C-alpha cells in the first residue's frame, strides 16, 4: 500500500527533474550566443570593442534584480508561474535582439533577457539545491553546458551559411518559446511541496537576516568571481581567436563550443564521483585544473594547444558552480539558503556585467591578448577565495 501511495510523488519528482534538465538546457542556450555574434553585431551598429561591455551591464542589471528577489518572487507568484514567465521573457528578448533596428533596442533586450534568466536561474537552483542530490545538481548544470555548447555552434552555423546574426537569435528565441509552453503546462506541479533530500526544510529567514551572515557574503564574492571568469572566457574566446590569433571563424566557433562542452563533460563526471570523493575536494582540484588551462590558453601557442587550454578551463570550472550551489543549504542552513541562492545568482550576474566589461576595457587599451591573462588572474582569485571560505566554514 505504501508503494502505491508513494508512486504519485515519485512520478511527480521524475517529471519535475526531467523538466529541470530541459530548463537548464534552455538557460544555457542564449548565454554564449552573444559572444559569437558580437563581431557581426558590432559591425552592424558601428560600435567600438568596449560596446560589448554595455550588453553585459544591461544583462547583469536585469539578472541581478530578478535573482536577488528570486525568493520573494517565488513566494509571491509560485515557482511554476515564475518559471514560465521568466522563460517567456528570455524568448521575447531573443526575438527582440534579432529584430533590433538600432543599438539602444538591442541593449534594452539584454535587460529583458537578464530579468528572465535571473528568475529561471534562481528558481531552478533553489529548488534543486533543496530537493535533488549533488549528483543531479551537477548533471543539471551539465545540461546548462549542453545548451551553452549548442548555442555558439548554432550561431556559428547561421553566420557561416546565412551570414545573418539576426536569424541566429530568432532560432534561439523559438527554442525558448517551446520551453515557456512546457513550464506553463506544468506550472501547478512546481507549487506542490515534494519531498526534500535531507528532510523538512526550516522556515526561510528574512532577506536582512540572511545578509547579516558572514558566510553568505563569502559565497557571494565566490560566485561573483566564478561566473565572471566563466563568462569572460566564454564570451571573449571567439573574438580573441579570430581577431588576434587569426583562427578562421568556423574553427574558432568549434573551439568556443569545446570550452562549454568541457564544462558539460566535467559536470557529468563530477556527478558520478561526487559521493565518493566529496564536494570540497572536487572543487579544490577542479580550480587548480582551471588555473592550469587558463595559463596554457594565455601562452598563445598554436591552435591545437589553444584548444586544449580552453577544454581544461572548461573541465576545471565544470563542478564549481553546481557543487557550491548544492552545498549552500548544508553550509548555511535551509533557513538562509532560500534567499542566499538568489543572492549567489545575482552576484554571478554582477560578475557577468562587470568582469567581461573590464576585459573589454583592457582589450581596448592593451589588445585582445590581455583578456587571456586576465582570465589567469581570475583563476587565482577564485582559488584563493574558495580556500578562505573552506577555512571559515571549518572555524564556525
Hey, what domains does the chain have and what are their CATH numbers? 2-191+199-395 (1.20.1250.20)
Give the DSSP per-residue string, 271-313.
HHHHHHH-HHHHHHHHHHHHHHHHHHHHTT--HHHHHHHHHHH
pLDDT band at 304 (very low <50, low <70, confident <90, very high): low
Predicted pLDDT at 4 = 41
Residues 6+ apart with CB under 8 A from 291: 316, 376, 379, 380, 383
What is the pLDDT averaged over residues 92-108? 93
CB 202 within 8 A of CB 334: yes
What is the pLDDT averaged over residues 15-26? 86
Cα dihedral 287→334→274→22 (10° resolution): -90
Q: Which helix (H) or strand (E) holds 47?
A: none
What is the pLDDT averaged over residues 168-187? 92
More confident residue, 286 or 125: 286
Predicted pLDDT at 302 = 66
Tell the residue number behind the cell numbers 547579516, with chain if given. 212
Q: What three-state secondary structure class fits 31?
A: coil
d(CA 303, CA 252): 9
Amino acid at each position: 500500500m505504501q508503494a502505491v501511495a508513494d508512486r504519485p510523488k515519485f512520478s511527480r519528482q521524475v517529471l519535475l527533474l526531467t523538466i529541470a534538465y530541459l530548463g537548464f538546457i534552455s538557460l544555457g542556450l542564449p548565454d554564449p550566443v552573444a559572444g559569437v555574434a558580437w563581431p557581426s553585431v558590432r559591425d552592424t551598429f558601428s560600435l567600438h570593442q568596449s560596446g560589448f561591455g554595455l550588453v553585459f551591464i544591461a544583462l547583469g542589471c536585469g539578472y541581478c534584480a530578478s535573482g536577488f528577489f528570486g525568493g520573494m518572487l517565488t513566494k509571491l507568484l509560485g515557482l511554476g508561474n515564475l518559471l514560465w514567465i521568466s522563460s517567456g521573457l528570455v524568448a521575447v528578448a531573443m526575438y527582440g535582439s534579432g529584430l533590433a533596428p538600432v543599438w539602444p533596442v538591442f541593449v534594452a533586450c539584454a535587460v529583458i533577457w537578464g530579468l528572465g534568466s535571473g528568475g529561471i536561474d534562481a528558481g531552478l537552483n533553489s529548488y534543486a539545491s533543496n530537493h535533488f542530490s549533488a549528483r543531479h545538481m551537477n548533471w543539471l548544470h551539465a545540461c546548462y553546458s549542453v545548451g551553452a555548447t549548442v548555442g555558439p555552434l548554432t550561431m556559428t552555423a547561421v553566420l557561416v551559411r546565412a551570414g545573418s546574426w539576426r536569424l541566429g537569435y530568432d532560432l534561439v528565441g523559438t527554442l525558448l518559446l517551446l520551453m515557456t509552453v512546457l513550464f506553463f503546462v506544468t506550472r501547478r506541479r512546481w507549487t506542490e511541496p515534494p519531498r526534500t533530500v535531507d528532510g523538512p526544510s526550516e522556515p526561510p529567514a528574512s532577506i536582512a537576516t540572511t545578509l547579516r551572515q558572514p558566510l553568505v557574503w563569502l559565497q557571494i564574492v565566490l560566485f561573483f568571481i566564478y561566473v565572471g571568469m566563466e563568462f569572460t572566457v566564454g564570451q571573449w574566446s571567439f573574438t580573441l581567436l579570430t581577431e588576434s590569433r587569426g583562427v578562421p571563424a568556423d574553427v574558432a566557433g568549434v573551439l568556443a563550443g569545446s570550452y562549454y562542452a568541457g564544462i558539460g563533460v566535467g559536470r557529468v563526471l563530477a556527478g558520478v564521483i561526487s559521493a565518493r570523493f566529496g564536494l570540497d575536494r572536487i572543487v579544490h582540484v577542479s580550480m587548480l585544473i582551471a588555473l592550469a588551462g587558463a595559463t596554457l590558453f594565455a601562452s598563445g601557442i598554436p591552435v591545437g594547444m589553444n584548444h586544449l587550454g580552453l577544454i581544461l578551463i572548461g573541465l576545471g570550472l565544470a563542478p564549481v558552480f553546481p557543487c557550491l550551489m548544492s552545498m549552500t543549504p548544508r553550509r548555511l542552513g535551509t533557513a538562509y539558503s532560500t534567499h542566499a541562492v538568489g543572492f549567489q545568482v545575482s552576484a554571478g550576474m554582477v560578475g557577468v556585467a562587470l568582469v567581461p566589461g573590464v576585459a573589454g576595457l583592457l582589450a581596448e587599451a592593451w589588445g585582445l591578448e590581455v583578456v587571456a591573462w586576465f582570465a589567469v588572474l581570475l583563476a587565482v582569485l577564485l582559488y584563493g577565495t574558495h580556500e578562505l571560505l573552506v577555512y571559515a566554514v571549518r572555524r564556525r
